[in-house]
Structure 1
Amino acid sequence: MNIVAGTPHTHKILVLGANGRLGRMVRAVWSNPRFQEIEVIPVSRLGDVDGRGFAWNPGDDSGVFPQVDVVLALWGVIRGDPPVLKQNVVLAEKAIEVAEKTGAQTLLHASSVAVYAFGDDALSEESELDPVSPYGQSKLEMERIVLNHPTQVRQVLMRIGNVAGTQSLFDNLAKGQSITLDRFSDGTGPVRSFIAPHDLAASVLALAGDNSVSGPVNIAAPGVTAMADLVTAAGCQLEWRDAPTNAIKHVEMDTRLLQSVCRFPDESSQADYLLQSARATGVWP
């Protein structure tokens, strides 16, 4: 599989939320001998499954970690009521503390495309921010706290699109279930910005190694993917229903900033490529 080009510039990466689905995926990619210069230090509440890393909870002493080059904060709360989702702010503040204690030069936070106001145009980092979901609202609040927090650590807010293998759609695809999608008045279904796990992992390295980038960065492959193509490529039966009035047809992220520091393969938004990458991690299905 061709993945984002570039030589890793960083060596020691502390991964917060290492046993979450995203954490397991990027670690699986970095276990490839191609990334032998990368030392990954996993951190999770339960410790690491192979006996490495740290079992650590927010609120524990952050002075226990070794000195690192990069902190990658992939932890977060994705569902729950607003008080529960408020933990995303707390976790971001804790990530800053960890980065400062470990001497990290760069801290990469996992934010989300959900912070945007969705519309017909491609979403750039300067697009309107008006999240419709409580999750998106919590991520936007997290971003604002990060941007106003005084620190010498370079902070990157990764507004991540749909990562292949992590959504409920992919859970249903793995089960071989019949998938029902919205069909809009023009006869087409929903399209979204996706990114393959391999390209996400390599994008992290590219951003960590380029000091010219900070603040919000859209994380997705160039272009969009039709969800119907994913269903077909996975060998599942596709059913249609008339789209309700509140259904969102098109969510596309403008990735020119990300592409200024790393190069994506031509097929990076194709359904077969996304499915292949997700399977190759061993995390999905």
Structure 2
Amino acid sequence: MTTNSDARPLILGASGRLGRALARSWPAGTPAPLRQTRDGAGGTLAWDILNAPAPALPPIDSVFVLAGVTHGTPEALALNTELARVGADLGARLGVPVLLASSQAVYGPQPGLLREDAPLRPASDYGRAKAAMEAAVTGPHVTHLRIGNVAGCDALAAAIARGGVVLDRFVDGQGPRRAWCTPGDLARVLLALRSAPVRPQVVNVARPGLVAMADVLAVAGVAFDWTPAPPGALPRMALDVTLLQGICPLPLADAQAVAEALA
């Protein structure tokens, strides 16, 4: 890893929803990242990742790959591997750690507290694409981040933006409960992993515990309706974050923090 005191992180994929949220939540007093977008808007680094070599860069101490495809055909989703490979190759050339945004979707709808060594059983094309990315892009400098729901950047936030939020109700009368973190949490995790003396190959990223979506909506003052949960819907998606807590301790998950990040 470079020891240049002026070096800073490079974020690939800064124009996406998560990249924009990170920019708004980046911790004060830490090195401001160099943010990459395809067109260079807003003073970002202009780089069409899949179609051009990396431009000249200032001193970089880590590469965070948020660039990815979340919807589309399996062929389109396969670009997640190509984007990750570009980031990993760049990090190898620079001699710096690379943190790749994966997803809890690689686990699929499994019950229980899911640790990093749990079997991968993705049920969606997106989950399968991220699992394929993890398998294809590896190296001692690479860490895959299996990120839980990021407040303000997930499906619940999208549903709120559309209006008419509907939650699944399960046989126990409750709605979905999920592992969450805020964009500020994720920024702190990236910074901590960047400077950690030892980085895992894979790490779950979320606050400890679960938060009910209904509680988040209640705190946020958002009205919603219920619908019977369809077969296969998962009432709880719980991530074991013991490994992460040893690297970057995060506070317990709570509906208030999630709701504030929605604002």
TM-score, with normalisation over the residues of structure 1? 0.85
SS at match of 1:72: strand
How far does residue 110 in structure 1 lie from its aligned partner after superposition? Answer: 0.4
Q: How many residues align?
A: 259
CA distance in 2, matches of 1:168, 1:123: 21
The AA in structure 1 aligned to 2:17 is R
Is it true that 1:242 corresponds to 2:228 in the alignment? yes
* Corresponding residue of 1:255: 241
Deviations 1:90-145 (A, max 9, x none): 111111122133x1421000000010143221110011101000010010000001
Is it true that 1:206 corresponds to 2:202 in the alignment? no
Is it true that 1:58 corresponds to 2:50 in the alignment? yes
How far does residue 59 in structure 1 lie from its aligned partner after superposition? Answer: 2.8
CA distance in 2, matches of 1:179, 1:29: 26
CA distance in 1, matches of 2:211, 2:7: 33
- Find 1:33's aligned residue among 28, 31, 42: 28
Is it true that 1:134 corresponds to 2:128 in the alignment? no
Report if aligned partners of 1:232, 1:238 keep a CA contact under 8 Å in 2. no
Report if aligned partners of 1:68, 1:104 keep a CA contact under 8 Å in 2. no
Report if aligned partners of 2:6, 2:59 keep a CA contact under 8 Å in 1. no
Alignment of 1:1-285 (within 5 A): 11-30=7-26, 32-35=27-30, 38-49=31-42, 51-101=43-93, 103-147=94-138, 154-174=141-161, 177-266=163-252, 269-279=253-263
Q: Which runs of 5+ in 2 are unaligned?
A: none
Deviations 1:161-219 (A, max 9, x none): 110011232133246x3422111111111111111111111111111111312211001
SS at match of 1:64: coil
CA distance in 1, matches of 2:33, 2:41: 11
The AA in structure 2 aligned to 1:33 is A
Deviations 1:219-276 (A, max 9, x none): 111001101011111211132122122211110100000000112234xx11111121
Report if aligned partners of 2:47, 2:54 keep a CA contact under 8 Å in 1. no
How far does residue 61 in structure 1 lie from its aligned partner after superposition? Answer: 1.5
Q: Which runs of 5+ in 1 are unaligned?
A: 1-8, 280-285
The AA in structure 1 aligned to 2:152 is G
1:104/1:13 CA distance change after superposition, 3 Å = farther
CA distance in 2, matches of 1:271, 1:187: 19
Report if aligned partners of 1:220, 1:255 keep a CA contact under 8 Å in 2. yes
The AA in structure 1 aligned to 2:143 is V
CA distance in 2, matches of 1:132, 1:14: 32
Instruction: State the Cα RMSD in Å.
Output: 1.9
TM-score, with normalisation over the residues of structure 2? 0.92
The AA in structure 2 aligned to 1:127 is A
How far does residue 10 in structure 1 lie from its aligned partner after superposition? Answer: 9.4
Report if aligned partners of 2:108, 2:127 keep a CA contact under 8 Å in 1. no
Report if aligned partners of 1:10, 1:209 keep a CA contact under 8 Å in 2. no
CA distance in 1, matches of 2:239, 2:152: 19
SS at match of 1:13: strand
1:11/1:252 CA distance change after superposition, 3 Å = farther
SS at match of 2:203: strand
Report if aligned partners of 1:14, 1:70 keep a CA contact under 8 Å in 2. yes
CA distance in 1, matches of 2:111, 2:33: 39
Structure 1: 4+ residue segments shifted above 6 A: none
SS at match of 1:127: coil
CA distance in 1, matches of 2:16, 2:251: 26
The AA in structure 1 aligned to 2:99 is L
